[in-house]
Amino acid sequence: MTVHSSTIDADIDSLRGELTGSLATAGEPGYELAMPWNLAVPVRPLAVVAARDARDVVSTVRCAARTGLRVAVGRTGHGAVPIDDNVLFVHTGHLDSCVVDPETRTARLGAGVIWQDVVDAAAPHGLAPLCGSSTAVGVVGFLTGAGIGPLVRTFGLSSDHVLAFELVTGEGDILRVTADQHAELFWGLRGGKSTLGIVTAVEIDLMKISHFYGGALYFSGSDASAVAHAWLDLCADLPEHTSTSMALLQLPALPQVPPPLAGRFTVAIRFASVAEPDAAQALLAPMRAVAAPVIDAVGVLPYSAIGAVHADPTDPMPSHEFSCLTNRLTHAAVDSLLAVAGPESGSPQTVVELRLLGGALAREPQHRSAFCHRDAAFTLFTVGVPGHGALDKHARKVEQAMAPWSTGGALPNFAAGVEPERIARTYDEDTVHWLSALADEHDPSGVLRVGPVVRGIGGAPAAQGVIM
């Protein structure tokens, strides 16, 4: 813990008086807003600012600059990494404006909006946002991390459909950032996470989607090998109108877990398609034929049920996460994965997922971004509950098993981290150089040098922060 001077305490009290929102220190109501979704991560800032508008963010940034503190930002607490009491934490939950324009098929969203808010607001107009697998995640952290959603192969990265950002820089300036205004920041904000500032609002395109064919098939662990190999065959030449992933599951025996899945090893095949239902059903037919599902939850669904495809947990919990990217996989790769994470492996992981990429994701959009891995074929993700085995050691075992197919890269979202090695896996050298230069230009005092940000040529990040 850092011992703060009376001057800093006075500046914090002064900041409290400037805000339209509120400020809480440890023990005061509102401090709990900093609690991350991953309860295993220690997040203990000096104070929590519940911002009511962009000016509150400006005041916080300028206070930090005066006092030598730093500023982190968050909404739902997904993707948290440690922070301590040298940090002012801006919580964006009150920035909750969600305005859908059905004529232009766009939406303007405050940084406090979660994806389910947008899904529900767009649905009456037959429109849909390109959200992530969890609709309980905040829009901004997801979009600044590029955004890999259940329909990513059809529409590409969610960040490719951002029209504008409202941004507070490290110098306390409020900027409107588009492809034509501050174009260099527009490039970097789509994939650069919080490196270039604090986003207080975003404008996005909406897709004309009301329903889709999708959900998940769940199979017994005894069928894992047959299902996994059949799924890899499904992935070969899969049309762009369809996205899919496979998850090896060991879900706990809890009331919210369906009995056929609780406390046992199962395999989930996730599927989402905007093709005509008959065509999509025909694509999935080989998976239904390879073994009898213990649960078949695939059918025509309203887009408002998009979260059912992955059925991600919604309640905060402690977890350990790991992710990496792979090239095209072979059946030997499936065997290697099952050897370390299959039903007979003794794996301690709750989820081990392979998600098919490619399709529209692989093509450069109209406006280039800081996302660096459009050529990856799959993303591999593991998550487990601490205390259930040596999770980090096992995740490295999974990584080693998949090394012959690994690209060496990682996505900005998914497993969080601030280590230089993690940043180097996320961005190529040119992207590191330009993100770093832009950050130094717009935050010369390093107020936002917190979390997985790219600062200093070579990409060495700060040692603490939160990212979503």
Region for 289 from its dihedrals, namely left if φ exceeds 0, alpha if ψ lies in -120 to 50, beta otherwise: alpha
Nearest to 441 by CA among 276, 197, 236: 197
SS3 content of the chain, % helix, strand, coil (to 5): 30, 25, 45
User: What torsion, rounded to 10 degrees, do the Cα atoms 94, 148, 204, 98 define?
Assistant: -30
Question: How much is the pTM?
Answer: 0.94
The phi, psi pair for 340, rounded to 5°, reads: -105, -15
Beta bridge pairs of residue 89: 48, 72
Nearest to 107 by CA among 176, 207, 192, 174: 207
Q: How far is CA 350 from CA 56, 161, 300, 391, 400, in A?
A: 40, 32, 28, 10, 19
Tell me the per-residue pLDDT of 34-74, one tens digit each, with 9 for 90 and over.
998 888 888 999 999 999 999 999 999 999 999 999 999 99
Enumerate residues 6+ apart whose C-beta is below 8 A from 239: 275, 283
Strands 22-25 and 47-50: what pairing?
antiparallel
DSSP 220-281: EGGGHHHHHHHHHHHHTT--TTEEEEEEEEE----TTS-TTTTTSEEEEEEEEE-S-HHHHH
Q: In what order do the strands lie in the sheet with 98-101?
A: 98-101, 106-110, 198-205, 162-168, 174-177
Please tell me the distance from the alpha carbon of residue 281 to that of residue 265, in angstroms, as a whole number. Answer: 26
Beta bridge pairs of residue 50: 22, 91
Top-level class of domain 211-405:
alpha beta
* Domain 6-91 matches domain 211-405 at the CATH topology level: no
Tell me the per-residue pLDDT of 339-385, one tens digit each, with 9 for 90 and over.
999 999 999 999 999 999 999 999 999 999 999 999 999 999 999 99
Domain ranges of the chain: 6-91, 98-208, 211-405
Average pLDDT per consecutive 10 residues, the chain (468 residues; last block may be shorter): 70 95 97 90 94 98 96 88 91 98 98 97 98 96 96 98 98 98 98 95 98 98 98 97 98 94 97 98 97 98 97 86 96 98 96 98 96 97 85 94 97 79 91 96 94 64 39
CATH architecture of 98-208: 2-Layer Sandwich (3.30)
Q: Which CATH number does the domain 6-91 belong to among 3.10.20.70, 3.90.1150.10, 3.40.640.10, 3.30.43.10?
A: 3.30.43.10
CB-based contact 464:449 (threshold 8 Å): no
Structure tokens at 172: 């306390």
Q: Is 399 exposed, middle or buried (0-12, 13-18, 19+ CB in 10 A)?
A: middle
